[in-house]
Amino acid sequence: MCGGELVGDPSLQITGAASLGEAVPGEISFYSDPRYGTLLRKTRASAVFVPPDFAESIATAQIRVANPIKVFEQVVLKFAPKPIAFAAGIHPSAVVDPSARLGERVSIQPYAVIEAGARVGDDAVIGAGSYIGHDTVIGAACLIYPLVTIRERTRIGSRVIIHSGVVIGADGFGFEMVDGKHKKIPQLGIVQIDDDVEIGANTTVDRARFGRTWIQQGVKIDNLVQIAHNVVIGKNSVIAAQTGISGSTRVGEYVQMAGQVGIVGHVEIADGSRIAAQSGVSKSIPGGTWFGYPAMPMPEARRQIAWVRRLGKLLARVKELEKKLGL
């Protein structure tokens, strides 16, 4: 299956797969990073996938392959339970407005609500307790997990995966001060989500004040991300957990954001930019890798961190000099 070379007993029986630290006899694991050498030497796995140039002598059977991680994934899929499949049809407890249009082989799970004018494409699954708002369009082969809220007039492409707790199309955070009070600004736009997007649990994507909040094709969004009104996320970008993107920001294509990034509104993030964890972006980014608060190019951020770490020694030297000078 993996085209590897066995070093060990060919009669060995493998009944499962696990990581080096968790594997037990009868299971196979993988090793590809020298940082995990200690775990490799301690593992109880019966066999381990290793790189072709692996030269260490270990008691565990080895299978030498070009890419241990990828081959291990293939083996895990062989041992894994079959994916859960949902039968086509509408559960008796679901509420589907007569004007809603459902495609072929659609599965509507218990207590889901499909409002008037909504359209659901072929082979889509609407999970238990999910809400599909008025005039919302959901494309073919979408998987909407339980307890997802998709409000009115949202546009979702094909093969989109939306995990539990997601809210799409809530009002943008828009207010103006009138007579000493915060008056709500109507949020009249929509959310558009293009093909092959995946949105993690408890993420929120707000509707636009006018126009659209737009998540473009192939974007992958982690859990607990906040995307504000009128934000545009370019194709194939990746956004990690607890990131917050303020209103009217435009994120380019193939951008990578690590966890807990915060971005102010009305800025632009250029194609291919990378933003490290916990960075605070206060201005437009022209590309490259950025880190810190406020975010700066990574080389500069590293220099500043090094300088800060030297301050204690520098202060001690200054005090010693002052003492010698009688100051």
Catalytic center residues: 229
CA distance 310 to 304: 10
Using DSSP bridges, classify how beta strands 226-227 and 204-206 pair: parallel, antiparallel or unpaired: parallel
What end-to-end distance do the CA atoms of the chain give, in Å? 77
Token pair recorded at residue 84: 């859960």
CA distance 132 to 130: 7
Using DSSP bridges, classify how beta strands 5-7 and 61-64 pair: parallel, antiparallel or unpaired: antiparallel
Token pair recorded at residue 284: 């437009």
Q: At CA 239, angle to CA 237 and CA 243, rounded to 5?
A: 145
Using DSSP bridges, classify how beta strands 107-108 and 125-126 pair: parallel, antiparallel or unpaired: parallel
Name beta bridge partners: 183. 176
Sheet holding 155-156, edge to edge: 101-102, 119-120, 137-138, 155-156, 190-193, 212-215, 232-233, 250-251, 268-269
List for the chain the helix, strand, coil content (%; round to 5): 15, 30, 55
Q: What are phi and psi of 73, to 5 degrees?
A: -60, -40
CA distance 276 to 258: 5
